[in-house]
Amino acid sequence: MKKIISILLAVMLVVSVTVVSVSAYNNADDYSKMSPSTTYKPSGSYTVDDSTPTCEEAILACGGDLNNVQKIYFQVPLADPKQDGSDWVNQFNVDANGVCQICVYWWAGIAGEDGWPDGNGCSWVGYRTKLVDAKNRIYEATVPADGGTPLLIWNNGVNAGMDKTKPIFKYGRQLADANIEGAYEGDYDTLPEGTPNEDNMDGCIQIIDYSVSTINPLTQIPAYGSNWYIYYGDGCYGEYSEDSANFVSKHENCKNPEHLADPDKYHSTRGDVNYDDNVDVQDVVYIQRYLAGYEFKPGEFNKSNADVDEDGYISVIDASRIQRYLAHICDIDGKKL
């Protein structure tokens, strides 16, 4: 499986998360070349703040069309216990509401290196992305669907560029350039049946891979690999698109190791006992089999969802509740319709 080599700037200290307003650090005397009274220029800043435009704002400012975009996702990685300083969250990228700000930029095309109206292009820290799933740490970037947007770079809103004289340098994290044009022409093989549009990565997610590492020759800091997957939602991602014959459900096809370790935690739709994303007669059959002593393999029977009436037991009453629900006699809570 080919890897996209990504640069994750690791440091010796794992910092604790302090909830502060990051804009407090952005002034001419401190870490940033921005100040609250100036217009944001998407290059040369050291931290993200409230003046940093979103991807959508940047596209519109550069004459782009929000009807012609692709949605690309990123999961902020958990800190690797084997890697010192691998945490993406720090006091410089958490806003006043306690939300970590993740940014992205791209080298070319609309709102890219040659696309910003002032002619300066776009580099650090790029544009703010949208947190769409706090529990699973999923962020969404809106990127032009065409217009020459070949390379995408995610970062944690802290400049991890070459200026090591700034104390903030050690807090920066980023992934390396990721190809989003022609990716299905052979550049990546983690998506054997991905999006039918091979010229973009719409609906895909980039996942870091700590097991693949090299040393960045410029910074002498470890660089880590990553892979593309189809994003299904709810923190689930896999190798097959949802219209593929190999796709069963977002939970059965999910490759997220956090979900695989505790599938019931991430799949909490009462009555959906067999992980197929539906509440139907098959769930009744599974409960009946369970009560008859059938032993299911891990990931086949969701005991939490099988306790439909939430009385702490799995019984024939739970199967009856599903049957009544399917007959439109009551809702899943047992209330009469």
Predicted confidence (pLDDT) per residue in 6-52, tens digit: 322 222 222 222 333 344 344 444 444 333 334 455 555 677 877 78
The pLDDT > 90 percentage for the chain reads 16
What pLDDT is stored for residue 193 in this prediction?
Answer: 66
Give the DSSP letter string of 29-80. Answer: TTT-S--TTSPP-SSS-SB--TTSPBHHHHHHHTT--TTSEEEEEEEPPPPP
What pLDDT is stored for residue 217 in this prediction?
Answer: 65
What pLDDT is stored for residue 205 in this prediction?
Answer: 92
pLDDT in tens, 86-97: 688 887 788 777
What pLDDT is stored for residue 284 in this prediction?
Answer: 94
- Which residue, 296, 232, 300, 293, is CA-closest to 272? 300
* Count of Cβ atoms closer than 10 Å to residue 174 Cβ: 25
Q: Tokens for 111?
A: 């709102």
What pLDDT is stored for residue 180 in this prediction?
Answer: 77
What pLDDT is stored for residue 79 in this prediction?
Answer: 73
Q: What are the 10-residue block averages of pLDDT along the chain, 337 residues in total?
A: 32 26 40 41 66 86 87 86 70 80 85 67 81 91 77 81 67 78 58 63 84 62 73 88 83 83 67 84 94 86 88 92 90 81
What pLDDT is stored for residue 30 in this prediction?
Answer: 41
What pLDDT is stored for residue 111 in this prediction?
Answer: 84
Long-range contacts for 210-219 (Cβ within 8 Å, ≥24 apart)? 210/77, 210/80, 210/82, 210/83, 210/86, 212/3, 212/5, 214/5, 216/7, 216/9, 218/162, 219/7, 219/9, 219/162, 219/164
Q: Whole-structure pTM over 0.85, yes or no?
A: no
- Secondary structure of the chain: what % helix, strand, coil (to 5)? 15, 20, 65
